[in-house]
Amino acid sequence: MNNTKDKIDIRSLSLNALQEHFIRMDEKGFRAKQVYEWLWKKSCFSFNEMSNISKELRAKLDANFVINNVKINSSQVSADKTIKNSFILHDNHLIEGVLIPTPGRMTACVSSQVGCSLTCKFCATGYMERKRNLNPDEIYDQVVLIDQQARENYGQPLSNIVYMGMGEPLLNYANMMKSIERITSEDGLNMAAKRITVSTAGIAKMIKKLGDDQVKFNLALSLHAANDEKRNTIMPINEQNSLKALAEALKYYYAKTKNPVTYEYIIFDGVNDGIQDAMELAKFCKHLPCKVNIIEYNPIAFASYINAGEDKVEAFADYLTKQGINTHLRRSRGKDIDAACGQLAIKEKDKLAEV
């Protein structure tokens, strides 16, 4: 096998499958475990760096397998120290991921798809075509590379991961789950599941599946309106996943996991910023234990939405707080480099660039 396209993607194999390949290559099965550790626990992207493996075996690995690792294509640093990355994939597609440093935590915001099939009207990624799902290792690699950035630039490791980048994680369910398994496992990055948050635009049947799988990570729902008519306009996915269906799914999820849910709510000027909107949200919050993150809107060229005024935002948050709802105001990070919530979109051509 000389052509890369003829080689097996080694990180697509389970440990057992890799051991079977090694036996077929007349190699000891335990060698597979050594290689597996290099691939996942040590995040190694090159067979040549596997120092406890013989040169002969490294040559065999190179002849039969490939490591389709993600690479940083370009990076931008915001005035607030947020770092936005353009990542290039093995097939030349580009995605974006962000390092968000704040006092007390280092957060990686990672993508789960190349583009997005949903058409949320406020989100730049929603105006892109979905090219494909990311593989588990491509999500994992974003975490590895952003963790390296955190250590190199700020002297701290990652503390948190949010699946809030490009794409809808629950429409890439199997690969999203496998990536979290690798990130949290002892023979992977060994990060705590409670440090991971998966954000969804609201796929009711997949939220129930999260409950059936009794996940340990956190769930966030991009809500933005607790009124079907308004949410249909902002987020067309609501037409197939109504608030009633979402409430039912979330109650099922909570019954199975006992994990409270975070509702993300961007306040748009003149759209969902009134006290009536706050009343509807407060009513929706009564379904299960939750908290609300009120997020500053970050305008994009494709949409006419603007951020609500400070007085309206504060009045909205104050109403929720008085209703006994755990409410937080989230200030945007990385706005000056289009790295903030809703701003991720590839502006470069989706092709191989010099790295």
Question: Which residues are annotated as catalytic?
Answer: 96, 341
SS3 annotation, the chain: CCCHHHCEEHHHCCHHHHHHHHHHCCCCHHHHHHHHHHHHCCCCCCHHHCCCCCHHHHHHHHHHEECCCCEEEEEEECCCCCEEEEEECCCCCEEEEEEEEECCEEEEECCCEECCCCCCCCCCHHHCCCCEECCHHHHHHHHHHHHHHHHHHHCCCCCEEEECCCCCHHHHHHHHHHHHHHHHCCCCCCCCHHHEEEEECCCHHHHHHHHHCCCCCEEEEECCCCCHHHHHHHCHHHHCCCHHHHHHHHHHHHHHHCCCEEEEEECECCCCCCHHHHHHHHHHHCCCCEEEEEECCCCCCCCCCCECCHHHHHHHHHHHHHCCCEEEEECCCCHHHCCCCCCCCCCCCCCCCCC
In the annotated binding site for [4Fe-4S] cluster, the residues are 116, 120, 123
In the annotated binding site, the residues are 116, 120, 123, 167-168, 199, 222-224, 298
In the annotated binding site for S-adenosyl-L-methionine, the residues are 167-168, 199, 222-224, 298
